[in-house]
Amino acid sequence: MQHKLLLNPGPTNTSLLTKTAQMEGSDVCHRTEDFYQVLKETKTLLLDRFLLKSTNEQADNWHVALIGGSGTIAMEAMVSSLAPPEGTQVLIAGKYGSRMSEMMEIYRIKQQSIEAKNIDDLSPDGTIPHLFFVENETTTGEKFDLSPMAAKYPNTNFFVDATAAFGASHYGDAIKHIAAISFCSNKCLQSTPGLGIVIWRKTLPIFKRTHYSHLARYIPSIPPFTIPVQSVYALRAALQESKDNTGLFLERSIRLIADLKPSNIICINKYPCNSIIGFTHPNKTYEELRQYLLDRDMVIYSGIDGIPNSFRLATMSVDFDKYYHKIIKTLHESIH
């Protein structure tokens, strides 16, 4: 099979070490002490990454759950288990914010929506107690960074979907605003799919609205259900291999935006994510560009609703730097 350079926002290209670890974990029972130790180590590495660059926060203040599934199961576990019954605010800036809202409707959780295209659309408010939002809105490539969000909502507990952000974000002292955060094992962590992950404060009440995704079940060291063991092994290896992707992804995104501009391939985000960016092409539709690049062994992501000739590129691939000049050259040639 021909190697494809994945410029979509996950699953993405992974390292040989991660692939090897996944294979090593394929024939392991999830009910053994050896696996419990691997799971414990993986949770510790996740907390280390979460608390990186933050002060006055201790790992002992947080629970970590690894759930078989994707970023969506992590989001649903966070919503169903932690959303307060008295109601909450939901920021809708794309399809994933809407997905949060839909989940709340299903679980009959009271909600009020805030709609915004980017962070400048948000009015400061010191009265909101709880806010659910997507940090890197994958459907647009727009970033809702935690520090300016904390400045807008200084007294608010944040419930953050970081599916396209975790592993490529420093939360710094804004972490004091985070009540819970959900994400997945692939994308910015550059591991394989298979795990939805939630990190949340031990002080939060947990509400029993579901069976499989009820977070209280995941507090003990023994997983409550069969877990994709190979994905845990792969994630541990990826976390050990790459200590921090924040600066790397930021450098990639800045360079990509600058190097495509001379070809009139323009970034359309006001505050672009460092992991996925929206662009417009001067003379090709998304489908035309997708096929053009696929013929050259590159995979991109679909466009943004309502914006002609738009498409998205992710910086998540472990092969991004290796093939960077090919990416720029091929996209430049695509305008002819």
- Per DSSP, the three-state class of 317 is coil
Q: Per-residue DSSP letters for 173-242?
A: GGGGGEEEEEEESSGGG---S-EEEEEEETTS------STT-GGGGSSSS-SS---HHHHHHHHHHHHH-
246 has a pLDDT exceeding 60? yes
Give this prediction's pTM: 0.97
Beta bridge partners of 142: 137, 272
Q: What is the mean pLDDT of residues 235-239?
A: 98
Q: State residue 2's pLDDT score.
A: 61
1 has a pLDDT exceeding 90? no
Q: State residue 65's pLDDT score.
A: 98
295 has a pLDDT exceeding 90? yes
Are 238 and 190 a contacting pair, CB within 8 Å? Answer: yes
What's the full length of the chain, in residues?
336
* CA-wise closest residue to 134 among 95, 86, 186, 185: 95
Domains and CATH numbers, the chain: 5-10+244-333 (3.90.1150.10), 16-241 (3.40.640.10)
**pLDDT tens digits, 14-36:** 999 999 999 999 999 999 999 99
Neighbouring residues of 181: CB distance < 8 A, sequence distance ≥ 6 = 50, 78, 159, 160, 161, 162, 166, 198, 199, 200
310 has a pLDDT exceeding 60? yes
Neighbouring residues of 225: CB distance < 8 A, sequence distance ≥ 6 = 68, 212, 217
Q: Residue 28 burial by CB count (10 A; 0-12/13-18/19+): exposed, middle or buried?
A: middle
Are 137 and 97 a contacting pair, CB within 8 Å? Answer: yes
- CA–CA separation, 72 and 86 (whole Å): 23
Looking at the chain, the whole-number percentage of residues with pLDDT higher than 90 is 96
**pLDDT tens digits, 127-181:** 999 999 999 999 999 999 999 999 999 999 999 999 999 999 999 989 999 999 9
